[in-house]
Structure formats: structure tokens, C-alpha cells
Amino acid sequence: MVHVVSAEAGRSLHERAVAGDEVAFEALVGPLVEPGIRLAYSMLGDRTEAEDAVQEAVTRAWRKLGQLRAGMPVRPWFLAIVVNQCRNIRRTRWFRFVRTSDNFRFDRGVEPGVERIDLARALARLSETDRQALFLYFYLDLPVDEVGVALGISAAAAKGRIYRACHRLRPDLAEEDL
């Protein structure tokens, strides 16, 4: 009995995706769509905008798949595309207009005189770069080196950014003495 092994069987998922195999591309990027939406939402604050940003990031990933070197992890590469797409959206005139006219308040529903720790408010006081680092590290549970790749900085810089962001959060999260 002769076993015939196709050329496809010996190729990696990455190689097949680069060659134009849509099923292989879906297997590579598909599991990253939901984390990408969560990341985009953390940056944009709007679910629809986040979904649109990730959809565009998937399209860009397909076009730029040849830039993904063999052996390079796909997750930080794709999340970096998502981050860049969100930055592009935030730069548009329309997005800035919509965000500045938004009257969102963090303290809705809080009774007067009631003190509480408000993580959303504390995070909103941080810079966008600090929020991105914290989100990637704590919420998406990426290792520090992958946080660095996603943000386009070194692993040491990512570690420092996470550390400094945590220290900036600390005063806002300390319960006030009554």
C-alpha cells in the first residue's frame, strides 16, 4: 500500500495562509478576533467602532501576511495591527468630534456622599499608552514580551510602562479614610 502525502500536509499553517489558503488564515487569526475587539473597545469606548476596527485589522492582516516571519507569534502581530487601526480611527476628525461631544459620566447612579473605588475612572485618568499596556498585560493576559511587540516597544519598555501605570493607578484606587 502506497501512502500519498500531499504538499499541503507538510506545510505549516502560516505557510499555507501566506500562499492564500483562507481556511489556514482563519485558523491563525480567527481566535484573535474577540481579544482584538476587547482591545479595540478599551481604546475606542464604542463596541461598533471596535468591531469595525477589528474587521479592518483582519483585512490588513490578510494583505500583510507576507510580513509575518515564520516562527513569529501571530497574536502580538495581529494585536499590533488592531492598535494601529484604533489609532488611525482616533485621529479622524469625525471620531474626535463624537468623543468630545459625548457627555458620558462615570458616577451615574452613585448616591451623594457614598465613596467607592472606581476603576473605570482611575483608568480614564491614565494616558492611552498606559491603558493599552495594562489592558494587554492584565486583561488579555499577554506576556510582557508580547505586550512589547503589540505596542511596538521593547519588552523592557513594556515592563516599565506596566510598572509605572500601576503606580499611577495606586493613589486613585486607595480607599479614602472616613
Same domain, 135 and 71: no
If asked whether residues 82 and 149 sit together in one domain, one would say: no
Domain boundary among 44, 67, 98: 98
- Closest-CA residue to 82 (of 120, 116, 44): 44
Query: Percentage of residues in the chain with pLDDT exceeding 90?
Result: 32
Identify whether 7 is part of a domain: no
Is residue 103 one of the residues assigned to a domain?
no
**HEC profile for 123-138?**
HHHCCHHHHHHHHHHH
| Alpha carbon distance 151, 24 (integer Å) | 26
Domains contained in the chain, number: 2
* pLDDT tens per residue, range 60-105: 999 998 888 777 889 999 999 999 998 888 877 555 555 443 434 4
The single-letter DSSP state of residue 46 is: -
On whether both 19 and 78 belong to a single domain, the answer is yes
Domain of residue 62, residue span: 12-98
Q: Is the pLDDT of residue 23 over 50?
A: yes
Please, are residues 70 and 14 in contact by the beta-carbon 8 Å criterion? yes
Distance CA 30, CA 32 (A): 5
In Å, what is the CA distance from 77 to each residue of 7, 113, 119, 127, 150?
27, 46, 29, 23, 6
Q: How far apart are CA 89 and CA 102, in angstroms?
A: 16
137 and 83 together in one domain: no
pLDDT of residue 88: 87
Q: Tens digits of per-residue pLDDT, 36-50?
A: 999 999 888 889 999
Residue 163 has pLDDT above 60, yes or no: yes
